[in-house]
């Protein structure tokens, strides 16, 4: 037998209502905290994940290019040393007079 007791029905409805209200308050609090944290992080001038990954990929590419160029320089120096020629240094090059130098003399 089931008894219809209005007190227990009202108590159950009140409990359900309280749970629903608490769930709504939880959602509002999370949204407020999230908005506050986002505002704080914008003030810190942090980079986004996408920007970080783009710069990281650029650094990897630059590092690989640097290693490739270093290897090419080493190969060229080795080839020059095998031929017996000394590589030209910036101070050992002859300066060719420019047209403006000829005009001033």
Tell me whether residue 42 is in a domain: yes
> What is the average per-residue pLDDT within 48-52?
92
Parent domain of 51: 47-82
Are 18 and 33 found together in one domain? Answer: yes
Q: Across the chain, what does the average pLDDT equal? A: 83
Tell me whether residue 94 is in a domain: no
Cβ contacts of residue 55 below 8 Å, gap of 6+? 47
Higher pLDDT, 98 or 78: 78
Determine if residue 94 is left, alpha or beta; phi over 0 gives left, psi from -120 to 50 gives alpha, anything else beta. Answer: beta
Looking at the 3D structure of the chain, how many domains does it have? 2
Determine the Cα–Cα distance for residues 5 and 14; give it in Å rounded to an integer: 14
Q: What are phi and psi of 2, to 5 degrees?
A: -110, 130
- With a pLDDT cut of 70, the percent of the chain lying above it is 77
Determine the Cα–Cα distance for residues 55 and 84; give it in Å rounded to an integer: 43
Are 42 and 57 found together in one domain? Answer: no
Question: 11 pLDDT exceeds 70?
Answer: yes
Tell me whether residue 30 is in a domain: yes
């Amino acid at each position: 037998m089931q008894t219809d007791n209005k007190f227990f029905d009202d108590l159950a409805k009140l409990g359900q209502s309280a749970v629903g209200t608490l769930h709504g308050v939880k959602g509002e609090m999370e949204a407020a905290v999230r908005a506050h944290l986002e505002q704080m992080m914008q003030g810190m001038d942090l980079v986004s994940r996408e920007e970080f990954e783009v710069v990281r990929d650029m650094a990897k590419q630059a590092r690989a290019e640097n290693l490739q160029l270093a290897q090419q320089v080493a190969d060229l120096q080795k080839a020059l040393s095998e031929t017996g020629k000394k590589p030209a240094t910036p101070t050992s090059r002859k300066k060719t007079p420019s047209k403006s130098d000829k005009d001033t003399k």
